[in-house]
Structure 1
């Protein structure tokens, strides 16, 4: 009788457990250098007691069934490879979890005691990154307070990153202009992926990137490996995840930022092909259409979409077709001015990846991008008009070849051909009759080539060296850029890193074609032969990891910038005499320029970080820096971006709640303090005479506004049912409603200098359903 009672109770317990929400975790484990499958690798979930796991098959795939929902940590081991660790992996009942893990081959001999570097949480996905780089997860863009699914706003928590405008997501990296940023998607350069983006900028008001399609990606802040070109300040190396190739899944999201719908699933009955697609429409636009005009005199409208189709061509080849695009319009009609601004973009790419043999693979990418930005501004008081219409298109062909000779040596080389088309128009009548600043159509070529060598000197020392080359056909300006990186695990848990390199970047095409007045109502393209702006980086770092979830890192860096566009030798214009293009964030300059300016940035950064384990995570980043420039007058000054310090503190806690402890209540707080924006003092007397803001450029950026402080808060509740996961969240940006200073201007009606403040408290409510 006791035996049958025991069996009955065991069955009831098993049934109760089976009814609890659980999910499938699957994925693939490959060699980091050759991308070949790692057979027989073990992956275990260390956050469960007892631990459960799986082993990879002959193609490197693994599956772990019936994993309890929640946050989980993983350890991956394989004979002949270094261990890898993953934390912060979210497992929900609404979507299956797919992990793609890379292992680094070890050349440790049996019975040999060595110090080896393990693949730790937060380490860059690209193994050729030695310094100033880290990976980030899509979950972090959702979880960090006020990040609202935006990688750029999420990156504000990282060391060396600052912002000078709450209204946009352009980021200042190590005191450099946001214009120096490179955006990459699926291995190829893409234009600025943000709504309401200005010509020549790297950010905008709202990200056009969807967290529904993004995968884990890399973020770099200096001394980039050779494969990254046309950038001087930072790199977002973004990846799209592939759709589920076994099961159809959906996600819907509604919030202040927009209405989203995402779908993914298999294509065909077998073969592993899949699709992934997302579409978003502005919530404010929906409200406007039903008669609720929350923005008052202003109306904004945006929509965006993204997709990826993944098709295994045969056993050794994969074809992916991907793309994204966005439309954004802003219209403002007030008593004194009217403005209509549009910013649209579209991107499509085809990647062909082929594994040539067990040691090498190649990837060929063809992509097409187009952006169009137009702005019609009419000042009703002064009866002046500004009109812009910039269209830029690019056809890019990228060729990559990767060869892993052995466990010590990996080579990677590539060629990028950029065919750039442009249609540029800008005019204004600010000084009387209409003046055309640019009216050009045409095309040009930008060539890039690189070669990289990863050499593992010992199991503890890895060297990454290479060359990047650029040639702009427009004016035959070129650059040869050596790159070097080193990581040395000097002792268990202790790593020293070094990095150095030369980097260059082109100016906006509109800057090269600015039609500069040369008198007698004539213009000339005086800026067409501007040189490539160049920046030499040197970085030294130290990292201590007391455990797999904690890391303490510090980096010191020095950057030397030269070939910066400044005013010509004979200029008497104060703006050109005392300023530099190194201080600009967007747009183009209609004055004559020469590449004779220079600048420098240097600083020290400290990061203390605990990844999400046991429901707690924490990050503190301290950045102390100086950013200087030298203009035509030969005087070194503080640059526009020299805030001098940034301090971030981010902390969060998650609680398992509900009857079966399968639901999660989470809270996250972020505190940000930094030096205030720098501005050029206003000459009040001259402003009174002209009736507009006139600055004293002899004191260029000498005035620093009050320090910047912002506190952000996020709370969320996630409910896991049997087949669905729902999350309701509230992000509050600037909880204290502090109105940080942005800039100053002259108010001719009040006859005084006024302070422009940034945004106050902004609540962002969001609901998400996955099924």
Structure 2
């Protein structure tokens, strides 16, 4: 069947190859960002080429006869800063792109301006990466999933060998320390089947067709993006087409998607996308022990009432259903082990919001109103036998919702840019839990109900100074945050969060950049709402905001417009982090499994640190070749309370190395290759004595760890090679694309920690304790994850 498919595929390609390639126009209008007025007689060219035109008297331009592909525009003119736009794709029709430019306050000075797509920021001159369309579309092994795309960047680790997990682990931080924004609207997670209280899942929610570019911060977080300790992903979405309507359909190995892009009337544009997965078919072919299925939808509507007023309304939602594959290979003990502990998961999540912007010259006001909701239901029966209620080990019913309001004002006052604002949020958390457990050598049942309502509030501000030609920039910002959960959190001055950034052009094209700051994050609602004996036990334990003091220092060398070499050293100190009462392990070292994380008794007493050095070389090699190379050495540790000494956290991989290259071949073929090396993760030996107790094993169907030996073992280094091949045909008004994406093409196997399992055979020991005979089985992960996709746009 594979041979027949390949022959048919090549025949189709050969037939389409006889058609000629179409050419289109790029057109639009250039306006002043502050006054919103048209900018006449400035140059607009395709970045990196000499092909371009000059705008007319009312700011319009048309660049004709452009072959399909991915481009940027460069806009330059007397009195304005040279601007390079984000990437965009010309595919099946003429493309409209309106460009905003900023006035150059040093216009009378003799300065040399080099246009670049890297676009440094005074507030975040370090630890900020701008991810463009081509990296998202063509990144090998990522399948257009942003959580996998960022794995190419320095400091970003992942759960090794689990190609079906999207946990985001940045600079030694846990999966709960990341925040996500869509056009300024906060969303709680970006993955289907996410772990409540953390993140991750088998596939992303956000449709890549909506994304223009992503600002990825691994430090130096902007003051208006709070509640993050490890990373912020700030997605900037495209606008709908104001002149025509188009439809794009994509058929992949795991989903079918339909996207429409167009306008409702002259001032209003829209984007809408619906995706339906059949991921369960792929997982069934791979004989995975679980079969996920999902549906998601997105929309964006933008109305420009006038030059000064615009309103954006957007929404994103998902329906997730993960069932167990009871037909998985009964002889595969590893898969049977997963099958016996993994719950059935049903999730619903959505975010809707509106962003209003008012442009008043050098002042811009932004108002954001949004609501997000997550419903998470997990159910588990012992041995997956639902025939009797006594077999029920977990019934978890939980939902959390947040209503957000944020208002801010951005003012440009000569060389100083000032941004200030406030946020007010209302949060609800509901939980109904029945869970069998084994604690302190005794079987027990956790059964509680939580109805938590909370008001959160905050203020933020920043002032950034940019000197002549960006030779020196400085920024100071702050946040204060509080809520009414308890007396430990209600005073926002206790969460005063200052940050300072500096950048200086030492010599030629070498820049020295730095940031120092204090950041706070609220513990997960699963932790705040956990109850014992009807009491919010963590509230009584003095649960408070997690604090992280961070410093980053680095140098950057700029090779003209197209390349950057950067080296950064970072240090993060964690205090007041939640520490598990039961096992004395930080909750930040948990959260990369399905279900929920953080729902246990904890105290805000954990202390930890993460530090390391990152190197990245990034090259946009014109029309042909893009390269990203990164290496990170880091340590992630926390203090063991019993000894007062630092020991490795769960994310202490030490080494991360990535080479990612994308090459454009003739006749619209694209080739991508990625090599990734991840150092071995630490692991904890199992407590064979406790795990073998019948009541202990029956409660969870999982072994128990010996936390006195926490992370004293270490796994081997893992390497992976990903491959992607694209072929695109362009006809008049139609784009047809095929792609093959192969994750772990060499089928590398990763030897995880051998797992301790029950044989099912019982016996009574000398102390009269009923036990199972136990054994260890190999746990190998890593397999080829293939995706064959077809895309049609018209």
Q: For the residues of structure 2 that align with 1:194 and 1:654, how far apart are their CA atoms?
A: 30
Q: For the residues of structure 2 that align with 1:673 and 1:45, how far apart are their CA atoms?
A: 36
Q: For the residues of structure 1 that align with 2:624 and 2:618, how far apart are their CA atoms?
A: 14
- Compute the displacement of 1:127 (Å): 5.8
Q: For the residues of structure 2 that align with 1:390 and 1:548, how far apart are their CA atoms?
A: 50
Q: For the residues of structure 1 that align with 2:288 and 2:688, how far apart are their CA atoms?
A: 32
CA deviations 1:333-384 (Å, max 9, x no partner) are: 53874842112111111111111x2111111111111111110011128935
Check conservation: 1:677, 1:741, Cα contact below 8 A: no
The equivalent position to 2:363 in structure 1, one of 345, 360, 365, is 360
Check conservation: 1:333, 1:339, Cα contact below 8 A: no
In structure 2, the partner of 1:306 is: 298
- Compute the displacement of 1:56 (Å): 6.8
In structure 1, the partner of 2:3 is: none
CA deviations 1:582-633 (Å, max 9, x no partner) are: 3122634454322122111111111112114141111110111111111322
In structure 1, the partner of 2:45 is: 44
Counterparts of residues 50-449 of structure 1 (less than 5 Å): 51-55=51-55, 58=58, 62-72=61-71, 74-85=73-84, 89-92=88-91, 94-99=92-97, 101=99, 103=101, 105-108=103-106, 110=108, 112-114=109-111, 118-123=114-119, 128-164=123-159, 165-268=162-265, 270=266, 272-284=267-279, 298-332=290-324, 334=326, 337=340, 339-355=343-359, 357-380=360-383, 383-406=391-414, 408-431=415-438, 435-449=445-459
TM-score under structure 1 normalisation? 0.88
In structure 1, the partner of 2:680 is: 676
- Compute the displacement of 1:23 (Å): 1.9
In structure 1, the partner of 2:783 is: 760
Q: For the residues of structure 2 that align with 1:589 and 1:98, how far apart are their CA atoms?
A: 47
- Compute the displacement of 1:668 (Å): 0.6
Q: For the residues of structure 2 that align with 1:34 and 1:235, how far apart are their CA atoms?
A: 30
Pair 153,523 (structure 1): closer, same or farther in 2 beyond 3 Å: same
- Compute the displacement of 1:503 (Å): 0.7
- Compute the displacement of 1:213 (Å): 1.6
Q: For the residues of structure 1 that align with 2:486 and 2:786, how far apart are their CA atoms?
A: 49
Check conservation: 2:371, 2:403, Cα contact below 8 A: yes
2:512 aligned with 1:496, yes or no?
A: yes
- SS of 2:272's equivalent in the other structure is strand
Q: Which ranges in structure 2 are unaligned for 5 or more consecutive residues?
A: 1-18, 327-335, 760-772
2:588 aligned with 1:582, yes or no?
A: yes
Q: For the residues of structure 1 that align with 2:508 and 2:352, how far apart are their CA atoms?
A: 45
Q: For the residues of structure 2 that align with 1:503 and 1:70, how far apart are their CA atoms?
A: 41
Q: CA RMSD in A?
A: 2.7
- SS of 2:189's equivalent in the other structure is coil
Q: For the residues of structure 2 that align with 1:54 and 1:584, how far apart are their CA atoms?
A: 56
The equivalent position to 2:529 in structure 1, one of 501, 508, 513, is 513
Q: For the residues of structure 2 that align with 1:244 and 1:127, how far apart are their CA atoms?
A: 32
- Compute the displacement of 1:46 (Å): 4.9
Pair 36,202 (structure 1): closer, same or farther in 2 beyond 3 Å: farther
TM-score under structure 2 normalisation? 0.86
Check conservation: 2:187, 2:372, Cα contact below 8 A: yes
- SS of 1:178's equivalent in the other structure is coil
Pair 676,157 (structure 1): closer, same or farther in 2 beyond 3 Å: same
Pair 502,45 (structure 1): closer, same or farther in 2 beyond 3 Å: same
Pair 487,389 (structure 1): closer, same or farther in 2 beyond 3 Å: same
Check conservation: 1:511, 1:527, Cα contact below 8 A: no
Counterparts of residues 557-576 of structure 1 (less than 5 Å): 557-567=570-580, 573=582, 575-576=583-584
2:739 aligned with 1:724, yes or no?
A: no
Check conservation: 1:556, 1:605, Cα contact below 8 A: yes
Pair 590,344 (structure 1): closer, same or farther in 2 beyond 3 Å: closer
Q: For the residues of structure 1 that align with 2:720 and 2:281, how far apart are their CA atoms?
A: 30
In structure 2, the partner of 1:708 is: 718
Pair 201,752 (structure 1): closer, same or farther in 2 beyond 3 Å: same
2:697 aligned with 1:667, yes or no?
A: no
Q: For the residues of structure 2 that align with 1:66 and 1:714, how far apart are their CA atoms?
A: 29
In structure 1, the partner of 2:661 is: 651
Check conservation: 1:198, 1:373, Cα contact below 8 A: no
- SS of 1:195's equivalent in the other structure is coil
Q: Which ranges in structure 1 are unaligned for 5 or more consecutive residues?
A: 1-17, 658-663
Report the number of matched residues.
724
In structure 2, the partner of 1:526 is: 538
Pair 96,142 (structure 1): closer, same or farther in 2 beyond 3 Å: same
In structure 2, the partner of 1:12 is: none
